[in-house]
Structure 1
Amino acid sequence: MSDLKVDGFKSSELIATISEQFSSMSDAEKNAQVKKVNGVIELEVTNAEKATTTWTLDLKNTGTVSKGKAPKKADVTVILSDDTLVDLASGKLNGQKAFMTGKLKTKGNMMLATKLDGVLKAKPKAKL
């Protein structure tokens, strides 16, 4: 899954780990996760050098993670910094607090963005 990694982004490892987690799930587990989230989440992440990359979590159709924008319009785009995504995944920050303090912005179905926390916590701890 190294094709998901982007140089200069700490969250690359996290995204690759989430992808591996989805790949290792049984069909029943994957279908349960897809049913629970039922949406396509685009993560637009900016690092300290102001470079931006996008990853798509398709938890509506395929239960997969890909680099780049969604082929069809995503249900929600979550815009945040690399550090904020790492902090959300590690539990140092919760999504609601990140949103209220302006560290996380959304475009689209904001309620779907609240399910991102569950996706990040469903994976084993990434080595960050």
Structure 2
Amino acid sequence: MSDLHYPGFKSSDIIASVGKTLETSTDAEKQSQIKKTNGIFELRVSNANKEEAVWTIDLKKAGTVYKGPAKPKADVTIILSDETLTELASGKLNGQKAFMTGKLKTKGNMMLATKLDAVFKSTKAKL
């Protein structure tokens, strides 16, 4: 597995665990997750030092997570802070509430962004 960590980002561990979960899933589990999600997420995460980390979660074809912008184009780009992503993944913050309060912005298929919660939940269930 490629290194998914960016120094200075708490959410690196979360993204790495999503990657590990997908990597260790059986083909059937991976195909099921791809079928349920059917999208490519590009996460643009900024930290307190105004640095940006970019990760892509491909749940359309490959079922992989990697550093950098989406190739091919993301179905939805989610722009948020490191803290917001950490709260979303832990379940402390609801995605809809984060969007409504301006803590999370999207570009592209906004309805697909709602499926990211399920991705985090299934990762948590497997860990």
**TM-score bracket, shorter-length normalisation:** over 0.9
Q: Which runs of 5+ in 2 are unaligned?
A: none
Q: Which residue of 1 aligns with 2:66?
A: 66
Give the TM-score of the pair, scaled to structure 2. Answer: 0.96
Q: Which residue of 2 aligns with 1:122?
A: 122
Q: Which residue of 2 aligns with 1:76?
A: 76
Q: Which residue of 2 aligns with 1:7?
A: 7
Computed over aligned residues only, the root mean square deviation of the Cα atoms, in angstroms, reads 1.3
Q: Which runs of 5+ in 1 are unaligned?
A: none
- Deviation track 1:17-69 (CA, whole Å, cap 9, x = no partner) reads 11000011100000000000000000000001000011000000100000000
Question: For 2:29 and 2:36, how far apart are their aligned partners in 1?
Answer: 11
Aligned amino acid, residue 117 of structure 1: D
Moved segments of 4+, more than 3 Å: none
Is residue 37–residue 59 contact of structure 1 (8 Å, CA) maintained in 2? yes
Aligned amino acid, residue 83 of structure 1: E
1:1-128 aligned at under 5 Å gives the runs: 1=1, 3-124=3-124
Aligned amino acid, residue 23 of structure 1: E
Is residue 40–residue 58 contact of structure 1 (8 Å, CA) maintained in 2? yes
Question: 1:71 Cα deviation (Å)?
Answer: 1.4
Give the TM-score of the pair, scaled to structure 1. Answer: 0.95
Question: For 2:42 and 2:20, how far apart are their aligned partners in 1?
Answer: 18
Is residue 40–residue 58 contact of structure 2 (8 Å, CA) maintained in 1? yes
Question: For 2:44 and 2:122, how far apart are their aligned partners in 1?
Answer: 20
Is residue 2–residue 66 contact of structure 2 (8 Å, CA) maintained in 1? no
